[in-house]
Chain A
Amino acid sequence: NAGVTQTPKFQVLKTGQSMTLQCAQDMNHNSMYWYRQDPGMGLRLIYYSASEGTTDKGEVPNGYNVSRLNKREFSLRLESAAPSQTSVYFCASSSMDGNYGYTFGSGTRLTVV
């Protein structure tokens, strides 16, 4: 089925460890996004890529880096994980610069201990 695929689904990290969250879409969308979701905070934008070759910071970019590897793939890296980064991370894609509905992945639940 067409959509947005995120890996892994669950991850536990120790403080200071690094990891990369992977995201791939097969809908030929131009734009891709990373959000984090915390209880009572809704969805907050970390980084986005409006098109292949470009990335921009969102509302909460500190502690994260991203790579738009090609049109399909957009990864999120935590270089030195902190307990404050415990969250559920969602990748999304859209066809045109955010002015159309996003398609979300199923999320990665990350716990940093």
Chain B
Amino acid sequence: GESVGLHLPTLSVQEGDNSIINCAYSNSASDYFIWYKQESGKGPQFIIDIRSNMDKRQGQRVTVLLNKTVKHLSLQIAATQPGDSAVYFCAVAGYSTLTFGKGTMLLVSP
């Protein structure tokens, strides 16, 4: 089955910096990827997704990059704000379900 890993359990940044959160997946046939944000005490919230026919997709202050050659995706957050403090998960679509990584906690200090 699919396995999904993240490189860093915690990332600390200063307010205004750009943040980059990474994720690696195992199945080269995977074709749909999602990033979620989970604030303390809440359920995960959809941030942005990307399909394997793209290598970059942009949203509001967020960009997802997909490198299928090395099976790696990243989430970039521009001008990180205190409200961005949360746990970020990548998820990879399988046949009927998503497989989630263990998450990276983003800590933003003023």
B14 at the A/B interface (Cβ < 8 Å)? no
A residues less than 8 Å from B42 (CB atoms): 106-107
Interface residues of A in 5-49 (CB under 8 A from B): 31, 33, 35, 40-45, 48
A residues less than 8 Å from B46 (CB atoms): 101-103
B60 at the A/B interface (Cβ < 8 Å)? no
A residues less than 8 Å from B25 (CB atoms): none
CA distance A107 to B41 in the complex (A): 8
A residues less than 8 Å from B65 (CB atoms): none
Question: Total A-B residue pairs with C-beta atoms closer than 8 Å?
Answer: 55
Query: How many residues does chain B have at the interface if contact means C-beta atoms less than 8 Å apart?
Result: 23
Shortest Cβ distance from B32 into A: residue: A99
Q: Are B43 and A48 in contact (CB under 8 A)?
A: no
A residues less than 8 Å from B93 (CB atoms): 98-99
Query: How many residues does chain A have at the interface if contact means C-beta atoms less than 8 Å apart?
Result: 26
Q: Are A42 and B100 in contact (CB under 8 A)?
A: yes
8 more CB-based (< 8 A) A-B contacts, given A101-B34, A107-B42: A31-B96, A58-B97, A98-B93, A99-B93, A102-B34, A102-B46, A104-B44, A106-B42
B residues with a Cβ closer than 8 A to A are: 9, 32, 34, 41-46, 49, 89, 91, 93-103
